[in-house]
Structures are given as C-alpha cells and as structure tokens.
Amino acid sequence: MDLTQPNAANMEYMIEAIKTKLRMASGAAMQASAFPLDKYEDLYDLYEMVLGKEHLSISEVEAVASELGKLRKA
C-alpha cells in the first residue's frame, strides 16, 4: 500500500491503524469519512509518529486524540 497517495482508502487504513495502536475505546465514533482529504498530509504525519513509537504515554494518547479531533470535518 502506497500511503504517499492521498485517497480515501489510505485515510481509512491510517485511521484504523492509529485507533488500533491507541486502543481507543471510542474508536467506532471515529470514521475515516469524517476526515477531509485536504487534511491527508497532517493525518499521514500523525500516523507516522504514532506507528513509529513502541509505547505512547497517556499524555501522548490524549494529544493524538486531540489532534485527530482538530483534523475532523467541522
């Protein structure tokens, strides 16, 4: 999968990977369709940061969740 190509399928893949890594209990509320394609680069950067870490602290998880909230469609 080439995640450098901005498309809906890649966004869905990254969202699912982030939710899995964060073990988000409310992950069902976070659908890939809620994120605009013009935020792809920001989401990709967040994806790389999250998946690049072996462990995330509670404050890092909260920061990622907050950033995801900011990237969602208004």
Beta-carbon contacts of 15 under 8 Å, excluding residues fewer than 6 positions away, are 30, 31, 32, 35, 43
Determine the Cα–Cα distance for residues 64 and 10; give it in Å rounded to an integer. 18
d(CA 62, CA 69): 11
The pLDDT score that the predictor gives to residue 53 is 92
Q: What is the pLDDT of residues 17-62, one digit of tens each?
A: 998 888 765 665 678 888 999 999 999 999 999 999 998 899 998 8
pLDDT at 69 over 90: no
Q: What distance in Å separates the CA atoms of residue 26 and residue 42, rounded to the nearest whole number?
A: 21
Please give the backbone phi and psi of residue 4, each rounded to the nearest 5 degrees, phi first. Answer: -80, -10
